[in-house]
A and B are shown apart, each in its own frame.
Chain A
Amino acid sequence: MAVPDPLALSPAPLATSVRLSGPSRHARRLNAIGRFLVVILLTYLGLLAVTFFIGRVIPVDPVLAMVGDNAPPHVVARAREDMGLNKPVYTQFYIYLRKVLRGDFGTSVLTANPVMQDIRRAFPATMELASLGILLGAGLGVPLGVWAAVRRGQWIDQVVRIIGLVGYSVPIFWLGLMALLVFYARLGWVSGPGRIDVAYEFTLVPVTGFMLLDTAMAGEWEAFGNALSHLILPASLLGYFSMAYISRMTRSFMLNELAQEYVVAARAKGLSEARIVWRHALRNAMVPLVTVIALSYAGLLEGSVLTETVFAWPGLGLYITNSLQNADMNAVLGGTIVVGSVFIGLNLLSDLLYTLLDPRTRTR
């Protein structure tokens, strides 16, 4: 039975990348880009289709959010008709796709705003938080992981492990509330929940949606400081969370690298330990590490619901969760598209970074 072996589709790794016949390099590149775009499109389609169909079978009545529990039956029936819920599911999906292609993501039942408008407000909030979080997390996690790997088995290794594990195994809402209690309520070092003080709330004109950028661009340095002081605690929380994971994985990858023969050879050649660790071993460990950091960032974007709840942060996590609990499918689908795009983008970015960092992955 001639079932094609999927693994046999890959050319032998020792083949050269120069082909003596067939389509030109230019044509091949266009072909690759075309295939790439098709795959991306299929991913979106798949994501949307699955989310849409599941949304129609979940045990929550989408009309409830719109009309409430006490509405008279004819109001309910009219709402059901307006939302198009009486049509067959495939028709509904087709109509939705057509609207999406035109750029119309529909209107949210819960906020009465177009979904795009809601997302344009919620997404930068989450992104600002997650970005600062991953900067802190990777900025601390990678050096700590390297340190633990270099000092493997010693007390510093265990300390890094414990710190990391605490961050990873305690519930984030607990850590958040404790952090608020200590740093905000008792010590007063940072500002409280919310993105910015009420006093600045209406004087700021949102341009990008990132508080730090908007205040800096407007030259409002007092507001900038205020936004930063609101941002620092939840970002540190998320950073701590991802630092735990990043440091563990860095340690693991570094241990792999430090056991390689080239390290022995480099030591024999007389290179300093620092140079070996930072310029050679870490460079090689960065390849899988980049995936880890990208995954971590993506995880922060989608998993920040609890942080957003505790810190009253009006971000995407709360938006999607709230919409889902009310079966507000337009909002859920819009949010899913955005999150999906970020994931795909991050994965592509990390794939690109591989080819930059590891020449061995640049074949064909």
Chain B
Amino acid sequence: MSHSTLLKPESLHDWLMSDRPLSRRQAALGRAYGACRTFSRNRLAMAGLVIVVALVLVAIFADLLAPYSAYTGDLRTTRLLAPSWAHWMGTDDQGRDILSRLIHGSRITLFVVVLVAVLAAPIGLLVGTVAGYAGGLVDAALMRITDIFLAFPRLILALAFVAALGPGIENAVIAIAITSWPPYARMARAETLSIRQTDYIAAVQLLGASPWRIVLRHIMPLCVSSVIVRVTLDMAGIILTAAGLGFLGLGAQPPMPEWGAMIANGRLYVLDQWWVAAAPGAAIFVVSLAFNLLGDGLRDALDPKGGQ
């Protein structure tokens, strides 16, 4: 510590990026700041962030932004109209404006997607890393439980949920989350198996860290990046799965403008009135892309190994 650094006034940036942090908190804040800077330098990731923020804003201000009602339409006059200046994305088979439905549906869709990701990913990560690190009987047992969940026909779980909890989209979220975590677990386990033998894990063990600490503080962060990539890829799949369960009653109840349900409805009109399925499909694609870019950016920023 030289005399000059004590006397010269430091900018916040210098303080955060200092090589010699004076406290743990400064180090942690510094790391977070560094991550933010890496992230913001990634233009694509920023684009993803912008889209996601826009999505959240659309969801919040849906009532103001939607040009028509998302729930009422006229069978006679406004049914299955092609995209035009009056209806930017056309109308659906009940005469409702598709753009308005998309805007209102962003709320439900976002809710479903984020909730499933937030529920399924941590469970999978935990199970996978514990199994990969522990090995032996624990590994075998956890992996066989994972196999059971993987082999389970998703539909039967959906029907069971309908029986137990009734129809509705909240129960769909739980059903999807319960069947979504196994792939994350298996991937986390695969990564853990590779990481387990490395020097730095050995070093931490020599330091006397308990196994839980090793798993939670050292191994998990290394697996997070691939799980993030997978989760962002899965966003679109989750929406489409929710649509698939909808026909059993475990999904958005009509006339809810949930995007997956809109696509399922558009299935009958694919060949002639393509816009009924295309509009929500495009919306799902854009959201998927945004989360994907965001996920990649997060991965690059957070990953202690991958920094460039």
Chain A interfacial residues counted at CB < 8 A: 81
* A360 touching B152, Cβ below 8 Å: no
Query: What is the number of contacts between chain A and chain B, taking CB atoms within 8 Å?
Result: 210
* B151 touching A288, Cβ below 8 Å: no
Query: Is the C-beta of A42 less than 8 angstroms from some C-beta in chain B?
Result: yes
* A169 touching B288, Cβ below 8 Å: yes
* A10 touching B147, Cβ below 8 Å: no
Question: Known: A9-B134, A46-B144. Is A249-B226 also a contact (CB below 8 A)?
Answer: yes
Query: Is the C-beta of B302 less than 8 angstroms from some C-beta in chain A?
Result: no
Residues of B within 8 A of A195 (CB): none
| Per-position binary interface string of chain B over residues 240-262, scored 1 when its CB falls under 8 Å from any chain A CB and 0 otherwise | 10011000100000000000000
Provide the bound-state CA to CA distance between A158 and B48, in Å: 13
Within 8 A of B (CB), among A139-180: 158, 161-162, 165-166, 168-174, 177-178
Residue of B nearest to A161 (CB): B292
Residue of A nearest to B144 (CB): A43
* B277 touching A171, Cβ below 8 Å: yes
Residues of B within 8 A of A343 (CB): 147, 150-151
| Per-position binary interface string of chain B over residues 191-214, scored 1 when its CB falls under 8 Å from any chain A CB and 0 otherwise | 101101100011001000011101
Residue of A nearest to B270 (CB): A177
Residues of B within 8 A of A284 (CB): 194
Residues of A within 8 A of B277 (CB): 171, 174
Residues of B within 8 A of A78 (CB): none
* B159 touching A324, Cβ below 8 Å: yes
Residues of A within 8 A of B233 (CB): 165, 168, 244-245, 248
* B186 touching A340, Cβ below 8 Å: no
Question: Known: A58-B159, A358-B194. Is A6-B138 also a contact (CB below 8 A)?
Answer: yes
* A9 touching B138, Cβ below 8 Å: yes
* B271 touching A177, Cβ below 8 Å: yes
The smallest C-beta distance from B159 to any residue of chain A, in angstroms, reads 4
Residues of B within 8 A of A260 (CB): 305
Residue of A nearest to B288 (CB): A169
The smallest C-beta distance from B120 to any residue of chain A, in angstroms, reads 14
Question: Known: A168-B237, A249-B226. Is A39-B155 also a contact (CB below 8 A)?
Answer: no
Residue of A nearest to B44 (CB): A158
Provide the bound-state CA to CA distance between A298 and B149, in Å: 12
Cross-chain contact of A57 among B130, B134, B163, B235 (Cβ < 8 A): B163
Chain B interfacial residues counted at CB < 8 A: 75
Question: Known: A14-B202, A165-B288. Is A171-B240 also a contact (CB below 8 A)?
Answer: yes
The smallest C-beta distance from A182 to any residue of chain B, in angstroms, reads 12
Query: Is the C-beta of B299 less than 8 angstroms from some C-beta in chain A?
Result: yes
* B285 touching A165, Cβ below 8 Å: yes
Residues of A within 8 A of B145 (CB): 46
Query: Is the C-beta of A134 less than 8 angstroms from some C-beta in chain B?
Result: no
Query: Is the C-beta of B187 less than 8 angstroms from some C-beta in chain A?
Result: yes
The smallest C-beta distance from B290 to any residue of chain A, in angstroms, reads 10
* A255 touching B285, Cβ below 8 Å: no
Query: Is the C-beta of A344 less than 8 angstroms from some C-beta in chain B?
Result: yes
Query: Is the C-beta of A101 less than 8 angstroms from some C-beta in chain B?
Result: no
* B151 touching A336, Cβ below 8 Å: yes
The smallest C-beta distance from B25 to any residue of chain A, in angstroms, reads 28
Within 8 A of B (CB), among A264-278: none
Within 8 A of B (CB), among A1-49: 5-10, 12-14, 35-36, 39-40, 42-43, 46-47
Cross-chain contact of A256 among B148, B189, B240, B305 (Cβ < 8 A): B305
Say whether chain B's binding surface is mostly helix, strand, loop, or mixed: helix
| Per-position binary interface string of chain B over residues 126-137, scored 1 when its CB falls under 8 Å from any chain A CB and 0 otherwise | 000010011111
Query: Is the C-beta of B230 less than 8 angstroms from some C-beta in chain A?
Result: yes
Query: Is the C-beta of B153 less than 8 angstroms from some C-beta in chain A?
Result: yes
Provide the bound-state CA to CA distance between A307 and B236, in Å: 17
* A58 touching B156, Cβ below 8 Å: yes
Residues of B within 8 A of A347 (CB): 143, 147, 186
* A36 touching B140, Cβ below 8 Å: yes
Residues of B within 8 A of A89 (CB): none
Query: Is the C-beta of A253 less than 8 angstroms from some C-beta in chain B?
Result: yes
* B136 touching A51, Cβ below 8 Å: no
Provide the bound-state CA to CA distance between A6 and B135, in Å: 9
Provide the bound-state CA to CA distance between A171 and B282, in Å: 10
| Per-position binary interface string of chain A over residues 329-344, scored 1 when its CB falls under 8 Å from any chain B CB and 0 otherwise | 0001001100110111
Within 8 A of A (CB), among B280-308: 281, 284-285, 288-289, 292, 299, 303, 305-308
Query: Is the C-beta of A112 less than 8 angstroms from some C-beta in chain B?
Result: no
Provide the bound-state CA to CA distance between A255 and B161, in Å: 40
Provide the bound-state CA to CA distance between A43 and B143, in Å: 10
Residues of A within 8 A of B308 (CB): 259
Provide the bound-state CA to CA distance between A175 and B237, in Å: 14
Residue of B nearest to A339 (CB): B151
Cross-chain contact of B152 among A325, A336, A344, A363 (Cβ < 8 A): A336
The smallest C-beta distance from A26 to any residue of chain B, in angstroms, reads 20
* A54 touching B193, Cβ below 8 Å: no
The smallest C-beta distance from A153 to any residue of chain B, in angstroms, reads 8
Within 8 A of B (CB), among A305-348: 306, 320-321, 324-325, 332, 335-336, 339-340, 342-344, 347
Contacts A/B (CB < 8 Å), 21 sampled:
A6-B130, A6-B138, A10-B133, A13-B201, A46-B148, A54-B156, A55-B156, A169-B240, A169-B289, A171-B263, A173-B267, A174-B277, A256-B225, A288-B187, A288-B191, A291-B190, A302-B151, A324-B159, A344-B147, A354-B190, A358-B194
Q: Sort A-B residue pairs by CB-CB distance and give the 6 closest, nearest first.
A: A7-B211, A169-B236, A340-B151, A169-B288, A58-B159, A288-B190
Assuming A169-B237, A169-B281, what are 5 further A-B pairs, CB within 8 angstroms?
A5-B212, A165-B292, A256-B306, A343-B147, A361-B193
Chain B: residues with CB nearer than 8 A to chain A? Answer: 44, 130, 133-138, 140-141, 143-145, 147-148, 150-157, 159-160, 162-164, 183, 186-187, 189-191, 193-194, 196-197, 201-202, 205, 210-212, 214-215, 225-226, 229-230, 233, 235-237, 240, 243-244, 248, 263, 267, 270-271, 277, 281, 284-285, 288-289, 292, 299, 303, 305-308
